[in-house]
């Protein structure tokens, strides 16, 4: 039987310093250096585990009964092969950790906060959470993440995101989008929130979508897509090829007999100039694949496979029905 390496204050101090350093959004170089430190000595791993476990114990202790529910704690990012929580630390804790070589520094931590992730137009961003779940944010997207010991909560304020959720039966993963809650344990799905519409597409596992009052509940599996308009009491579910909903991750927008207004809603998340549909083109349907590119290129491609023309007025782009040629 192999003996557990003895820990000393130097290892604990280094672990505390790494714990602090890996807050917010560390650079790739930080993760690389941390991984090298972690693998250099078994005592490094044990010290880090001790720091992490101590903070989790403190978090659990703070969950005392009260008249009003206490705010849940947040655990945002993770490192590549391990899972450090990423809390917001107070200035006092940062100062003390540099000098103190024991775990007594941990009680001075401030309460963690919800972490917000955003993308600009044309930007795509991949995020790995502390629980191992992987999120991809499409263009012009904003979401908030709050990971606690008993619940994993995300709010999709706008845009589109795909979720590959690490299974954890003790902590359901819930995404709030508009007036609908998407609840899972471990699965892969995509959510598009555009204007007042919502589309939830499942590629793996089981997804439960409901309203706040549980009056409209749907259980989705592979190939199911739920469509919902915010404010309406009911949603509809249809069968689709789920890979099409995830095509944006490969730089493509795929449509099959889609209303031109739906295509324009997508384009407006990628291009800088506002686009609108002329009333005369409202009935146009679109089938084809648009490559995510610069504004001019995307409009040219749209004109190639849809009977529309794009007119730039200087302040906006108007899509008009193309006159038939005889």
Q: What is the CATH number of the domain that holds 227?
A: 2.60.120.1440
> In terms of pLDDT, which residue wins out, 30 or 286?
286
φ, ψ for residue 54 (rounded to 5)? -65, -45
Give me the pLDDT at residue 215, please: 77
What tokens appear for 260 in the block? 């031109």
Query: How far is it, in rounded angstroms, from Cα 54 to Cα 79?
Result: 18
- Is the confidence at residue 40, as pLDDT, over 50? yes
The shares of helix, strand and coil residues in the chain, as percent rounded to the nearest 5, are 30, 30, 40
Query: How far is it, in rounded angstroms, from Cα 198 to Cα 178?
Result: 8
Strand partners, 285: 259
Give me the pLDDT at residue 259, please: 93
- What's the full length of the chain, in residues? 326
CB atoms near residue 277 (< 10 Å): 20
Give me the pLDDT at residue 110, please: 40
Whether residue 312 is contained in a domain is answered as yes
Q: What's the alpha-carbon Rg for the chain, to the nearest Å?
A: 24
Give me the pLDDT at residue 58, please: 53
Q: Which domain holds residue 62?
A: 9-70+84-108
Under the phi-then-psi rule, with left for phi > 0, alpha for psi from -120 to 50, and beta for the rest, what region is 122?
A: left
Give me the pLDDT at residue 106, please: 43
Q: Any idea what the CATH number is for the domain that residue 296 is in?
A: 3.55.50.30
Give me the pLDDT at residue 54, please: 67
Helix (H, G, I), strand (E, B) or coil at 326: coil
Q: Are residues 44 and 103 in the same domain?
A: yes
How buried is residue 84: exposed, middle or buried, by Cβ count under 10 Å (0-12/13-18/19+)?
Answer: buried
- The total domain count for the chain is 3
* DSSP assigned state of 106: G
Whether residue 77 is contained in a domain is answered as no
CB-based contacts of 128, cutoff 8 Å, min separation 6: 77, 78, 80, 134, 135
Whether residue 4 is contained in a domain is answered as no
Least confident of 97-111, 153-167, 200-214: 97-111
User: Strand 134-137 to strand 125-128: parallel, antiparallel, or no bridges (unpaired)?
Assistant: antiparallel
**pLDDT tens-digit readout, 230-272:** 888 889 999 999 999 999 999 999 998 999 999 999 999 999 9
Q: Are residues 126 and 231 in the same domain?
A: yes
Q: Are residues 209 and 287 in the same domain?
A: no
Whether residue 296 is contained in a domain is answered as yes
Whether residue 40 is contained in a domain is answered as yes
Query: How far is it, in rounded angstroms, from Cα 180 to Cα 154?
Result: 12
φ, ψ for residue 273 (rounded to 5)? -90, 130
**pLDDT tens-digit readout, 4-33:** 566 677 778 887 887 777 655 556 666 777
Q: Are residues 88 and 178 in the same domain?
A: no
Whether residue 120 is contained in a domain is answered as yes
pLDDT-derived band at 92 (thresholds 50, 70, 90) equals very low
Query: How far is it, in rounded angstroms, from Cα 241 to Cα 202?
Result: 10
What is the residue-wise DSSP string for 200-237? EEEEES-EEEEETTSSSEEEE-TTEEEEEETT-S--EE
Whether residue 1 is contained in a domain is answered as no
Q: Are residues 132 and 228 in the same domain?
A: yes
Whether residue 326 is contained in a domain is answered as no
pLDDT-derived band at 3 (thresholds 50, 70, 90) equals low
pLDDT-derived band at 325 (thresholds 50, 70, 90) equals low
pLDDT-derived band at 298 (thresholds 50, 70, 90) equals very high
**pLDDT tens-digit readout, 130-154:** 888 999 999 999 999 998 888 899 9
What tokens appear for 257 in the block? 């007999």
- pTM equals 0.64
Domain boundary among 184, 209, 242: 242
Q: Are residues 30 and 103 in the same domain?
A: yes
What is the residue-wise DSSP string for 235-293? -EEEE--HHHHTGGGGTEEEEEEEEHHHHHHHHTTT-SS-EEE-GGGTT-EEEEEEE--
User: Strand 224-229 to strand 152-164: parallel, antiparallel, or no bridges (unpaired)?
Assistant: unpaired
* DSSP assigned state of 309: E
User: Strand 173-177 to strand 152-164: parallel, antiparallel, or no bridges (unpaired)?
Assistant: parallel
């Amino acid at each position: 039987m192999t003996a557990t390496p003895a820990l000393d204050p130097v290892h604990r101090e280094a672990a505390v310093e790494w714990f602090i350093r890996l807050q917010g959004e560390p650079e790739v170089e930080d993760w690389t250096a941390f991984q090298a430190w972690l693998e250099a000595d078994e005592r490094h791993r044990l010290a880090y585990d001790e720091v992490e476990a101590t903070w989790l114990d403190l978090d659990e202790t703070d969950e005392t009964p009260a008249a009003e529910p206490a705010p849940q704690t947040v655990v945002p990012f993770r490192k590549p092969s391990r899972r450090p929580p990423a809390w917001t630390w107070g200035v006092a804790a940062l100062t003390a950790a540099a000098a103190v070589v024991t775990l007594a520094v941990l009680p001075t931590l401030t309460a963690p906060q919800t972490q917000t992730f955003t993308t600009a137009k044309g930007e795509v961003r991949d995020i790995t959470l502390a629980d191992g779940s992987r999120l991809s944010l499409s263009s012009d997207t904003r979401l908030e993440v709050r990971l606690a010991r008993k619940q994993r909560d995300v709010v999709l304020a706008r845009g589109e995101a795909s979720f590959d959720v690490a299974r954890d039966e003790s902590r359901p993963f819930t995404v709030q989008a508009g007036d609908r809650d998407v609840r899972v344990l471990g699965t892969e799905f995509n959510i598009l929130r555009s204007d007042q519409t919502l589309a939830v597409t499942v590629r793996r596992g089981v997804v439960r979508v409901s309203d706040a009052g549980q009056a409209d509940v749907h259980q989705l599996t592979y190939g199911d897509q739920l469509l919902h308009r915010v404010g309406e009491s009911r949603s509809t579910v249809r069968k689709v090829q789920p890979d099409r909903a995830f095509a944006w991750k490969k730089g493509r927008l795929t449509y099959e007999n889609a209303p031109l207004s739906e295509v324009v809603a997508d384009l407006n998340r990628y291009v800088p100039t506002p686009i609108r549909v002329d009333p005369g083109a409202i009935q146009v349907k679109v089938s084809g694949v648009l490559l995510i590119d610069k504004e001019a290129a995307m409009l040219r491609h749209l004109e190639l496979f849809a009977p529309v023309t794009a007119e730039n007025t200087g302040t906006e782009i108007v899509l008009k029905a193309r006159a038939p040629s005889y």
